[in-house]
Structure 1
Amino acid sequence: MNEAHEYCGSDEWRQLIREVILPWAMGEATLGDDVLEVGPGYGATTDVLSTTAAQLTSVEIDDELAAMLRERFADTPSVQIMHGDATRLSFPDGRFTGAACFTMLHHVPTVELQDRLFTEVARVLRPGAALVASDSLGSDELAVAHEGDTYNPIDPATLPARLTAAGFTDIAVKTTEYGWAAVARTRTPDRTPL
């Protein structure tokens, strides 16, 4: 990430995540007691999720950010920080009760990799588990702020089809003038009576 992203480690951003973005995106959704966080970055969402989940596993692709978060959460046994690629998760199928990814999907360089990330998250979630995702709407201003960095914003109108293809159902997408949020659930096996 470029230097403009240092704002994502500020107290002001942490407050915005805690008081506005996370509550708005989550709505009535719950993530359960064994939560996967994809792309924690500077850890603003990690701070909030670590107070609500019995176990939080955060996967960060940037080795320096992962190391910083490991140090910061070293005394919090319920938080595990892993350096890894969310398009190739090392967890078994159905491991987590919920997943979250906030303000990071625009850093995934291609649509194909974004879709692979969605598919991997669906794979490691239990049947019926929720994914809550949120990001900014694409804009020229944000493109300039990402100069020298990956900037691949998602058009929220494409999310229902993309999340369905990845293995999700019950998809709800909402937007504001600044961003979007989606809540989707993994499919549950059909249960037909014997």
Structure 2
Amino acid sequence: MNMIHRRICSSDSWGRAVREYMIPWTLRDVDLGADSLEIGPGFGATTRVLVGMVPKLTIVEVDPASARRLDAQFPDVTVIEGDGAHLPLPDNAFDSVTCFTMLHHVPSPAEQDRLFAETCRVLRPGGVFAGMDSRVSLRFRVVHLFDTMVVVDPKTLPDRLRAAGFTDIEVTPAVGRFRFRARKP
């Protein structure tokens, strides 16, 4: 992430937006079960909310420094330094997997598709994959100058999730964002 992005994502206002809007909107009517995985928590604003929603939370963070910081910040969370497209986790291990505003940081559509397939692999049958990401805007482009930005098209996401093995797919667009939900058969 570039400096602008780091400043925004580590701010109190971002944490408040995550707590008051993003997670409630994204996870409305979603049962996360007892054992949940979060992919790409970054600075931990989403983790801070999720930790109170599930009995057992595991997070996977690709950035080594962020993984260390998250491990120190959340002693009751299992923190794994790893790549969401190559999860170092067993098959059928989680009731749910979430990710919030991180898919556009995955460096290619092929890697995003691998992340979707890996997510399906680590979910238990009947498990849910839920998350949200941003849509393109001028502000979004400015925040991502000199940063990885591979935007997911919400119109193509259902087919991509289906190809990864998911069913019961819902994609809900909103101004500047979209949420998605899918289930492992």
Q: TM-score, normalised by structure 2?
A: 0.97
Number of the residue aligned with 1:41:
42
Equivalent residue number for residue 56 of structure 1? 57
Unaligned runs of 5+ in 1: 188-194
Does the CA contact (< 8 Å) of 1:138 and 1:154 recur in 2? no
Q: After the TM superposition, which residues 104-143 of structure 1 pair with which residues of structure 2 at under 5 Å, given as runs?
A: 104-143=102-141
Q: Name the SS for the 2:155 alignment partner.
A: helix
Letter in 2 for 1:18: R
Which ranges in structure 2 are unaligned for 5 or more consecutive residues?
none
Shift of 1:155: 0.7
2-structure distance, mates of 1:134, 1:48: 15
Q: How far apart, in 1, do the equivalents of 2:136 and 2:152 lie?
A: 7
- The amino acid across from 2:184 in the alignment is T
What is the one-letter code of the residue matched to 1:2? N
Q: Which is further off, 140-149 or 21-30?
A: 140-149
Partners in 2 of 1:148 and 1:86 — Cα distance? Answer: 22
Identity of aligned residues (%): 46
The 3-state SS of whatever aligns with 1:157 is: coil
Instruction: Determine the C-alpha separation between the residues in 2 that align with 1:12 and 1:64.
Output: 22
Tell me the number of residue pairs that the alignment of Structure 1 and Structure 2 aligns.
184
Superposition RMSD in Å: 0.9
The aligned counterpart of 2:151 is: 153
Superimposed CA distance per residue, residues 112-169 of structure 1 (whole angstroms, 9 cap, x where no aligned partner)? 0000000000000001111111011022321221111101111100111000001110
Equivalent residue letter for 2:68: A
Larger Rg: 1
